[in-house]
Each structure stands twice: as structure tokens, then as C-alpha cells.
């Protein structure tokens, strides 16, 4: 029977191998053939993008997942946006924004004559409404963003009918926010009202937040799945569960109506299915994983783009691990950094399409500065020397003994099914053996990994990654206070210099980019020396789109920032 199955499988595989990769169909469609063969942009056509699931909501206040934000981002914008290349905050619906000298007042001036897609004027009142809705929502996770605004707590708890620290004046053209204490990431965080700004006129019909009733909220209403108006390039048209969300061009978009008629977000089971759809031409553009780069790059009808990303992978070392007390020792952690060949890992996993990282701030950030950082070049002898300096003694079985006599054996865990992390684990197991440390690999579900590495003492090493926002504020990851259940300092890192620099970066009082960059560099230098993680690499973003699609210019912080200018060339 086994042979039969083998024969059957081989027959199918031969069929697979024999068939070539034909040119993709153009079901994602452009304008009619006669439209233009020149470089003059022509209107029309449909873009199809892939998503790995339905939007759970189309309303940013209660949104917690990327599938949802991938939909509402086309309707609900912020007063500011992140520059697609540099990550710096730049004006969007606001013309300008300024922070007072004492850092306690933030003032936005709204662009004149802005209109929602339904014709209603856009004013600062829309921002004010959205923040009030966040304050009373039971399902939002964005309250902490606004907690320093004067009068926030009183309003949230029903002691006031509005937030006193927010003032809208000048016919809705000026917005002033007063803070109880300086919060440097405020300019970036406030602009979007914790996501995107809602059309207050339409939402007032389903929820009025200006009262002291803390029971009512915006969490459950029909508009959450049917956005009534848009400030973005597209308006909501139709949602077919499990199949797709269809958007249409917003003719009132303030940067100019898009040239594309329709934007469809089609739902696929996973990233592989989206890659397949990209190859066959069903999807117009998508990002792909490094392992698929070669295959997709060979498709004639696609063009590729590559950019740095604000993500990185690492091996975390729990300084409070009950079964591996040596992880509290800096020299041991430095030995672990010297003892793994990150270059070889990068070649194997991302085929060199990435950047090695030596500390927390990711390469594309404006705060990135690798000067003075140790590169920890793979060096077995140096690793062993550090272990011995730390007090470890080599045992007869080739495994070091720690100062208490116990063999230096420990577990490294990661989530099953993530090929990159599984490969890192294999490397770690082999290469740490060479420096006299025995690794027991553990593959588990992602759920179990999250659960087990919630700050505690029952885990030693773990492989996972960070995907970071544009504004660098790593307080929740590295501050020594953030080690409770549900918090993110799960390696129990504690360094008073870093603690102070994290607060300086966050609460100023000097919030200038220069001051923050200096504070962040101090943090990176300390992390680079203390190596609470073995920092590995940041994979490049690999973006492919149909060759017909023009003006595509994806980068780190946005791949679609100029979508209104995209058009199909025949």
C-alpha cells in the first residue's frame, strides 16, 4: 500500500514539476486595452489585495487586529501620519502641529476645507468625539495613550461630561490638548486619536459620549461594520464575510481622488495562499516571505521592491530562570552572543535579505545609531573564555558545570510551524553544544509559547520577535518595573541607567529628536553590553506588485502611502 501511495504521489509531483509558470492572468484588471500605452496616468481598474482573515470590526476604537486595521485605515485617518521612509511624524489632516516649550500643550491646526466623503466638513470636533468614545469604550485597548490628558480620568469615570483638557476652537480648525505631564511620543500617538478619527456627525446618531453615563459606549453598533463616511482614499462599498471587502474610490479625498476605481481586500487562508494568488495574478500586490522570494521574482508579470523593516528576531534569556541561574550573569549572556553564528542563520533563513541587529532600535528608525556597539562576531574561543571567567568549569562530558556544580543544560523554546524560528533553534542547539552548553529544544504552539513566557521563572531561553511602531518608546519592553503578569519585560532586565534613559525618552522634559536619540542610544549601548537578548536579525520587507501598476513606492512604514497616484499601464 505504501508503494501505491508513493506512486500516486510521484505521479502528481511529476505533473507539478513538468508544468511551467505561465504568465499570470490579469484578473486584477486594468483599464481597457486602448486606454494608454504611454506614461500618462489613466483612471480605472481594480486593485485586489490579500488579507489572512475577515476584518473583525471596521471601527478603530475597538480594533485589535491587523486584518481590521487593514480595512479601516482606508477611511479613518489621523491629523498626522508616519513618513513612509523615515518614520518621522508629518502633517496629514492637520496643516501643522506644535508642542509648547514646557511640553504640556499640543496644538494642531486643521487643513482648511476638508470634507468627509458624505460632504460633511471635517473639523477638530471629529478628533474630540473619537477620544471621548475611546475613554468610555469597554473593549478598547487604547485608553493608556490618553491617560495624561488633563481631565481624562474624571471623564472616564463618569465624574464629568467631557474631557476638560481638550479644547476645540476657531470654528473647529484648532485643537488644543493639555497634558498633566510631559509625554514625548504624544505628537505621534495623539494625531490618530488612537487609530483613526471617526466621523462624529454620523456616529453621534448611534452614540453620544458627552454625558456622565459610563454604561453606554460605542462598542456595539451597526456602523462599526459599515463605515458611514471616509476621509481616506476609498469609501466602504460591501462586505462579504469570508470572501472580501470591496471599497470604491473617494472622489473627495483631500490628496486627490484615486485613479483606481475599486479596491478589493480578498480573504485568504494564510500568507502562502496570498503568495499563490500573487503568482497567478489574482492579487495585484503583496509582501512575500524570503523563502518565496526566488519563486515570485521569476514571475515575468511582477516587479519587486525591497526595504528595511522595524522588526527583529531574538533569543531571550530569562535572568530569573529557576533552572538556569547562570542566565543572570552578564558574561554568560555575552558568551551566548559570541557562540551563535548570526550571519549563517541569516543566510539560511532570509538568504541574506536582512540586516543583523545588535540592540533594540531597528535599522530603519530615525533613532538608529550603531556606533560603539559590539558586533559579537561568531567566536567559539571567546565564548568559552567568557564562560570560564564567569566561573564555569568544563565537565568530562564536554558540558560546562556552573559554579553550583550543575551542568549548564537549559531549554530554548519557540513556536512550532514558524520555519525561521525552528531553524534558529536548530542552529542554537548545534552551536551552543560547541561552546559547552547543552540545549533541550522545545517546540510548542504559539499560544503555549505566549503563555509560558509571560514573566515568570519556569522558562530559560525563547525565540520570538518584535514588530515595532515608528515612534521609538521601548519603555514597556525594557523598564525594570514591567515584569508583572501580562507585561513585556519577560527576561527580567534591570539596569538603572536604562530605566532613567527610558523615562527621559518618554517624559522629557526635552522631547526634541536629538535628546530622544541620545537617550535611545544610551539604552542600545547598555542592551548591547548586557545582552538580555541575543539580538539576531531584521528581515527585509519584500514587496511585489503587478508590472502594470505604476507609481508604486513601498517603504518601511507604509507600502501604500501614495495609493491615489497608482494606475494601470497597459
Partner 1 sequence: MGRFIARRLVQAIPTLFGVLLITFLLSRLSPADPVKLMLAGNSEVTVEDREQLMQALGLNDPLPLQFAKWMWQLAHLDFGQSLYYHRPALDLILERLPNSLQLSLLALVVTVAIGVPLGVIAALRRGRIEDHAIRIFSVSGHAVPQFWFGLIVVLTFAVQNRWLPIGSMNVVGTDCTVCWDRVWHLIGPVFVLSIGGIATLPRILRTEILEVISQDYVRTARSKGLKENAVVAVHVLRNALIPVVTSFGTILLVFFSGSLIIERVFNWPGLGRLTFEAAVSKDYPVVQAGVVISSVLLILSYLLRDIAYAWVDPRIKVR
The smaller minimum CB distance to partner 1, of residues 457 and 481, is found at 481
Please, what's the b/e burial string for 483-511 (b: 16 or more CB within 10 A of its CB; e: otherwise)? beeeebbbbbbbbeebbebbebbbbbeeb
Instruction: For the CB of residue 303, give the shortest distance to partner 1 in the complex, in Å.
Output: 20
Q: What's the burial of 447, exposed, middle or buried (CB within 10 Å: 0-12/13-18/19+)?
A: exposed
DSSP code at position 149:
B
Name the segment binding partner 1 (CB under 8 A); options: 13-21, 113-121, 173-181, 372-380.
13-21
Does position 466 interact with partner 1 (CB under 8 A)? The reply is: yes
Longest dimension (CA), the chain: 81
**Applying CB under 8 A, does 5 fall inside the site for partner 1?**
yes
Residues 6+ apart with CB under 8 A from 215: none
What is each CA distance from 502 to 289, 303, 515, in whole angstroms?
Answer: 33, 41, 12
Task: Identify residues 219-238 at the interface with partner 1 (CB under 8 A).
Answer: 219-220, 224-225
End-to-end CA distance of the chain: 53
Minimum CB separation from partner 1 for residue 477, in Å?
5
Alpha-carbon distance of 195 to 474, in angstroms, equals 19
- Establish if 294 lies at the interface with partner 1 (CB under 8 A): no
142 contacts partner 1 (rule: CB under 8 A): yes
Residue nearer to partner 1 on the CB measure, 139 or 181 = 139
If binding is defined by CB under 8 A, does position 282 make contact with partner 1?
Answer: yes
Single out the segment in contact with partner 1 by CB under 8 A; choices: 34-42, 266-274, 312-320, 562-570: 266-274
Q: Which is nearer to partner 1, 59 or 117 (CB)?
A: 59
Nearer to partner 1, 265 or 327 (CB): 265
Piece in contact with partner 1 (CB under 8 A), picked from 249-257, 277-285, 391-399, 497-505: 277-285
> Could you give the strand order of the β-sheet that contains 174-178, starting from the edge strand earlier in sequence?
94-99, 105-110, 174-178, 166-169
**What are the cell numbers at 518?**
541620545
State the nearest-atom distance from the C-beta of 90 to partner 1, in Å: 20
When the beta carbons of 110 and 133 are compared against partner 1, the nearer one is: 133
Which one among 112, 119, 405, 486 touches partner 1, defined by CB under 8 A? 486
Total residues binding partner 1 (CB under 8 A): 77
Pairing of the two strands 461-467 and 311-317: antiparallel
Tell me: does residue 545 bind partner 1 (CB under 8 A). Answer: no
Does residue number 15 form part of the binding site for partner 1 (CB under 8 A)? yes
Among the listed ranges 204-212, 365-373, 472-480, 493-501, the one in contact with partner 1 (CB under 8 A) is: 472-480
Between 176 and 219, CB nearer to partner 1: 219
Closer residue to partner 1 in complex, CB, 352/417? 417
For partner 1, the closer of residues 147 and 330 by Cβ is 147
- Cβ-based nearer residue to partner 1, 19 or 514: 19
Enter the C-alpha cell of residue 332: 554568560
Which residues, 6 or more positions from 416, have their beta carbon under 8 angstroms from its beta carbon? Answer: 422, 443, 444, 445
CA dist., res. 252 & res. 264, Å (int): 19
Site for partner 1 in 418-457 (CB under 8 A): 445-448, 450-452, 454
- Give the residue with the Cβ less far from partner 1, 137 or 287: 137
Identify whether 172 is preceded by a cis peptide bond (ω within 30 of 0): no
Element (H, E) at 387: helix 380-389
Residue 476, interface with partner 1 (CB under 8 A)?
A: yes
In angstroms, what is the minimal distance from the CB of 551 to partner 1? 22
Kindly tell me which of 452 and 522 has the beta carbon lying closer to partner 1: 452
289 binds partner 1 (CB under 8 A): no
Residues 6+ apart with CB under 8 A from 403: 326, 391, 392
Site for partner 1 in 25-64 (CB under 8 A): 25, 27-29, 46, 48, 53-54, 56-57, 62, 64
Residue of 101, 269, 396, 496 that binds partner 1 (CB under 8 A): 269
Nearest residue to 368 (alpha-carbon basis) of 557, 83, 87: 87
Min dist CB 568 to partner 1, Å, is 15
Binding positions for partner 1, 500-529, rule CB under 8 A: none
Q: Kindly identify the residues of this chain, within the stretch 167-206, that bind partner 1 according to CB under 8 A.
A: none
SS (H, E, C) 491-544: CCCCCHHHHHHHHHHHHCCCCCHHHHHHHHHHHHHHHHHHCCEEECEEECEEEE
458 touches partner 1 by CB under 8 A: no
Of the candidates 169, 512, 530, the residue with the CA atom closest to the CA atom of residue 337:
530
Q: Which stretch binds partner 1 (CB under 8 A): 37-45, 83-91, 318-326, 462-470?
A: 462-470
297 belongs to the binding site for partner 1 (CB under 8 A): no
C-alpha cell at 560: 501604500
Q: Where are the beta strands (DSSP E) in 296-402?
A: 302-307, 311-317, 354-356, 393-394, 400-401
Amino acid at each position: 500500500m505504501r508503494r501505491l501511495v508513493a506512486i500516486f504521489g510521484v505521479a502528481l509531483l511529476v505533473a507539478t514539476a513538468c508544468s511551467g509558470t505561465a504568465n499570470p492572468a490579469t484578473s486584477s484588471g486594468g483599464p481597457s486595452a486602448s486606454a494608454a500605452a504611454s506614461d500618462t496616468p489613466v483612471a480605472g481598474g481594480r486593485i485586489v489585495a490579500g488579507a489572512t482573515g475577515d476584518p473583525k470590526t471596521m471601527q478603530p476604537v475597538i480594533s485589535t487586529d491587523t486584518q481590521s486595521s487593514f480595512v479601516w485605515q482606508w477611511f479613518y485617518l489621523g491629523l498626522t501620519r508616519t513618513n513612509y521612509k523615515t518614520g518621522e511624524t508629518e502633517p496629514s489632516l492637520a496643516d501643522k502641529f506644535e508642542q509648547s516649550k514646557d511640553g504640556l500643550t499640543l496644538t494642531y491646526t486643521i487643513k482648511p476645507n476638508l470634507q468627509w466623503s458624505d460632504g460633511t466638513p471635517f473639523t477638530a470636533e471629529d478628533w474630540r468625539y473619537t477620544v471621548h468614545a475611546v475613554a468610555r469604550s469597554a473593549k478598547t485597548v487604547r485608553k493608556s495613550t490618553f491617560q495624561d490628558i488633563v481631565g481624562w480620568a474624571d471623564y472616564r469615570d463618569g465624574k464629568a461630561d467631557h474631557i476638560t483638557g481638550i479644547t476645540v476652537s476657531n470654528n473647529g480648525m484648532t485643537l488644543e490638548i493639555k497634558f498633566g505631564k510631559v509625554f514625548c511620543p504624544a505628537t505621534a500617538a495623539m494625531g490618530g486619536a488612537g487609530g483613526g478619527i471617526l466621523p462624529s456627525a454620523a456616529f453621534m446618531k448611534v452614540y453620544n459620549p458627552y454625558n456622565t453615563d459610563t454604561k453606554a459606549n460605542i462598542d456595539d453598533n451597526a456602523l462599526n461594520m459599515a463605515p458611514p463616511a471616509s476621509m481616506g482614499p476609498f469609501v466602504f462599498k460591501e462586505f462579504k464575510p469570508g470572501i472580501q471587502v470591496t471599497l470604491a474610490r473617494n472622489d473627495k479625498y483631500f490628496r486627490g481622488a484615486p485613479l483606481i476605481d475599486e479596491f478589493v481586500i480578498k480573504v485568504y487562508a494564510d500568507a502562502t495562499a496570498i503568495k499563490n494568488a500573487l503568482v497567478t495574478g489574482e492579487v495585484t500586490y503583496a509582501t512575500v516571505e524570503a523563502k518565496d522570494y526566488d519563486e515570485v521574482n521569476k514571475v515575468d508579470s511582477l516587479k519587486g521592491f525591497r526595504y528595511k523593516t522595524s522588526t527583529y528576531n531574538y533569543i531571550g534569556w530569562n535572568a530569573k530562570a529557576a533552572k538556569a541561574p547562570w542566565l543572570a550573569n552578564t558574561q554568560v549572556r555575552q558568551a551566548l552572543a559570541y557562540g551563535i553564528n548570526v550571519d549563517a542563520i541569516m543566510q539560511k533563513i532570509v538568504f541574506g535579505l536582512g540586516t543583523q541587529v545588535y540592540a533594540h532600535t531597528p535599522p530603519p528608525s530615525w533613532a538608529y545609531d550603531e556606533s560603539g556597539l559590539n558586533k559579537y562576531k561568531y567566536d567559539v574561543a571567546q565564548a568559552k573564555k567568557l564562560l570560564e571567567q564567569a566561573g564555569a568549569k568544563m565537565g568530562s562530558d564536554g558540558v560546562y558545570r556552573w559554579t553550583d556544580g550543575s551542568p549548564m543544560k537549559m531549554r530554548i523554546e519557540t513556536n512550532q510551524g514558524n520555519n525561521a524560528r525552528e531553524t534558529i533553534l536548530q542552529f542554537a542547539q548545534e552551536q551552543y553544544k560547541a561552546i559547552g552548553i547543552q540545549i533541550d529544544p522545545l517546540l510548542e504552539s504559539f499560544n503555549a509559547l505566549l503563555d509560558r513566557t509571560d514573566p515568570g521563572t519556569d522558562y530559560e531561553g525563547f525565540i520570538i520577535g518584535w514588530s515595532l511602531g515608528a515612534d521609538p518608546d521601548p519603555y514597556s519592553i525594557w523598564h525594570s518595573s514591567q515584569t508583572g503578569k501580562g507585561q513585556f519585560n519577560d527576561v527580567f532586565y534591570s539596569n538603572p541607567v536604562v530605566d532613567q534613559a527610558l523615562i527621559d525618552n518618554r517624559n522629557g522634559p526635552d522631547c526634541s529628536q536629538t535628546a530622544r536619540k541620545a537617550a535611545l542610544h544610551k539604552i542600545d549601548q547598555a542592551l548591547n553590553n548586557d545582552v538580555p537578548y541575543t539580538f539576531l536579525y531584521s528581515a527585509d520587507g519584500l514587496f511585489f506588485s503587478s508590472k502594470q501598476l505604476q507609481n508604486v513606492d513601498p517603504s518601511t512604514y507604509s507600502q501604500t502611502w501614495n495609493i491615489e497616484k497608482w494606475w494601470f499601464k497597459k
